Structure 1
């Protein structure tokens, strides 16, 4: 007997994703409305326990598309979820410093202070995991390791959930990233920091920083791999097992959005700019001229190996509760159903 639903929860990170495109085009809402199901946004919920599901995936009848650290961590904690799709959209990643610090290239970081924010325990500190991977990637290119620099913790009092709706945000939903790292850099408490994406490229430009290393588009995928490269589409297990038909419809819609992006480069850049809260110029600089060609959803070995590589990095740096079998996390049934339908 098919479980009847009246609503489904979903969430997406404010980054380039085909789920974001499908939402802006109205296709997601239409897809579930045809089934008599209302689509609710987790991040727009007033209840903080609901908003937590963006990071720990605890809600039944939900799906999520975005950075891979929270869903990997949730799975390591035993959360019953399934990985049903992956996208890989490269983005600006860099190590930056300020003029006058005597740092112009990665080798100049040796024995210098590298600042990384540290947030309270609870919700996984994905910002920290991202910065650490960025540092390791940059150092690896010069034959260095994290032991060649002094990693300096930059304490952050609030978690990502605490500040939503705070009046000090001047009407915004969330604080823009890198404020704590930049403050430490300006004060001289640290010598260099990591930034990424549209917001990273914005602050790097705003403060007249020096680009020590940039590697978001490096030819070696293991250097580029980080929290946002690749991004994962996950669903909770009840949705996967009791309403697999809805997961098929979801993936069909998301893939259609990816196809639409390839045919509409200018509109895609405009939609992504709205999604991330940046100018189209910034999106083009941060994600490259071929952004519209990198919003397709898949489960091919290259994508899975990238997720496995970063999962192992998180494990080795003690960000995971326990290791887990990536293959057992993957649910290929929705893709298989679509492929069978296409052949029939």
Structure 2
């Protein structure tokens, strides 16, 4: 899908209507999809078969010399027409975390909308919702005082402009404070696909857990792969993902990750970013993961495994 030039196909990473799709990615869009399906039709065809957790840089940035006190500050939020602006959702969650740590609420700051182009499913980057250019420009132009940025590219942006790091959420020890779009990341499949091809879903989960063991002793190779998709250098990847880079590539459905996803679902609903409450426990089918863990594989054993119909 990432290489496709067809917007209708690329949009499936967010809509998840294709029955043969196995999707692993940020949680905002699958939560929106489930809530929308429940709200519109009273049922949903997606199923969560696992949760991964990939910590990455989540930073609040201010202009050079900015103080770390958020009281009275203008916090930038992208505002793009469309189903759900994931970047807005991420920023709002990060601001909530920062304000909670300071003993403040949203009443103590000025949430400032920054108009973004409508959400579209473009060939390279989706305009408006998954990149922070509009809020970055607003910060540099003095229209807002603080913005949210994430990933390895946030390191490059901060360094290029000598910006002040107001808060680095990725460095907080408590994982509940690091919950956002990418933490945790649900693996979702279409219910019909799971029913028709449970073996393929099991293999997918087996491979992820096998890879999770491999990356622990191949950090530089993983950094190189990540750099090709996110940022120019491996050094920036290391700084963008910090000490937790290769520590949590496994897929599981542990209570802590389920609770984290429920926290995110509740947050999105509370702030009217999704239209229905999502009970995460009702969304999960643990059977494929149990089957995968019962028969762990090594990566060399993968050859020929997908030949099974």
Q: TM-score, normalised by structure 2?
A: 0.88
2:54 is equivalent to residue 89 of structure 1:
yes
Structure 2 CA distance, aligned partners of 1:95 and 1:150? 15
State the 1:277 CA deviation.
3.4
Q: 1:75: which partner in 2? A: 34
What is the CA–CA distance in structure 1 between the aligned matches of 2:54 and 2:295, rounded to whole Å? 28
User: How far is 1:84 from its partner?
Assistant: 0.9
Q: Deviations over 1:72-124 (max 9, x none)?
A: 11111224111111111212111111125xx311x2x21121111111123x2
Between the aligned partners of 1:241 and 1:336, the Cα distance in structure 2 is 15
Give, in angstroms, the shift of residue 44 of structure 1.
2.4
For 2:180 and 2:210, how far apart are their aligned partners in 1?
A: 26
Distance 1:99 1:290, change over 3 A: closer
Query: 1:173: how far off?
Result: 4.8
What is the total number of aligned residue pairs between the two structures?
288
Where structure 2 has 5 or more consecutive residues not aligned to the other structure, the ranges are: 38-43, 297-309
- 1:104 aligned onto 2:67: yes
**What secondary structure, in the 3-state scheme, does the structure 2 residue paired with 1:289 have?**
helix
Please state if 1:53 is matched with 2:38.
no
1:237 corresponds to which of 191, 200, 208: 191
Q: Partner of 1:141: helix, strand, or coil?
A: helix
C-alpha distance in 1 between matches for 2:221 and 2:64: 37
**1:200 and 2:147 correspond:** no
Change (3 A) 1:86 1:278: farther
Q: CA deviation at 1:174?
A: 5.4
Match of 1:321 in 2: 275
Aligned mate of 1:142, from 92, 102, 111: 102
Alignment deviations for residues 299-319 of structure 1 (CA, whole Å, 9 cap, x no partner): 111111111111111111111
Structure 1 residue runs of 4 or more that deviate by more than 6 Å after TM superposition: none
Residue 158 (structure 1) aligns with:
118
Judge conservation of contact 2:231–2:237 (CA < 8 Å) in 1. no
1:125 aligns to 2:79 (yes or no): no
Deviation per CA, 1:211-252, whole angstroms, max 9, x where unpaired? Answer: 112221212222111101111211111111111111111111
Q: Paired residue for 2:306?
A: none
SS in 1 for 2:243: coil
Q: 1:192 to 1:173 in 2, by over 3 A?
A: closer
Please report how far the alpha carbon of residue 160 of structure 1 lies from its aligned counterpart in structure 2 after TM superposition: 4.3
Task: Give the corresponding residue for 1:26.
Answer: none
Q: Distance in 2 between matches of 1:65 and 1:325?
A: 19
RMSD value over aligned CA atoms?
A: 1.7
Contact 1:97/1:211 (8 A) holds in 2:
yes
Normalising to structure 1: TM-score of the pair?
Answer: 0.79
Match of 2:301 in 1: none
Q: Aligned partners of 1:186, 1:263: CA distance in 2, in Å?
A: 40
Contact 2:55 2:244 in 1 (8 A): no
- List runs of 5+ in structure 1 lacking aligned partners: 1-41, 166-171
